[in-house]
Amino acid sequence: MAEVLVFHHGHGLTAGVLEFAETLRKAGHTVHVPDLFEGRQFATLEEGMEYAEGVGFDTVTERGTAAAQELPADLVYVGFSLGVLPAQKLAQTRPGAKGALLLEACLPVSEYGDTWPEDLPVQVHGMDADPFFAEEGDVDAARELVESAPDAELFTYPGDRHLFTDSSLPTHDEHAAAQATKRVLDFLDRVGH
């Protein structure tokens, strides 16, 4: 089984993120879910992003990397939207990573290095008409990652919702989230052995 570090999105550590972590635990994985917002939750994504911008995206990312320092190196890093910042940084720069799951965001590989680490499996999930994922360059970065890394997969789902995977938000899409969760669990079973 895999040991997993999950980073929440711009609403904060919501019930939906905790439920996702619990789903992974029930499948036998060890899951850690640090709170990058130090207890704050936001009703809207705009408020959450304002907070993240106020403290600094680098600070949010560093909170994530600091959480990883207490854990073994052979982790699978999972990020939801804003949480992709620390997840992708750690996957690309911390030796020993077992995999990365980038949900609803993806940065260009050049953000954290020259290339994606050799033999590091990664999945990217997002909706094909999500204005954040599809229109702000994330899906393009994901396509480039898939072209350059041998064990990279991009999964797109029909729809325009951002944070479709969080069951506690109005943007939740039950069908697409169930598909994504199944693919995540299959990925964890594959890399966790």
Domain boundaries of the chain, sorted by first residue: 3-191
Does the pTM exceed 0.85?
A: yes
127-140 confidence digits (pLDDT tens): 999 999 999 999 99
36-57 confidence digits (pLDDT tens): 999 999 999 999 999 999 999 9
Strands across the sheet containing 99-103: 30-32, 3-7, 76-80, 99-103, 122-127, 152-157
Which amino acid, one-letter code, is at 76?
A: V
90-114 confidence digits (pLDDT tens): 999 999 999 999 999 999 999 998 8
User: Which CATH class, in words, describes the domain spanning 3-191?
Assistant: alpha beta
Phi, psi angles (nearest 5°) of residue 117:
-55, 135
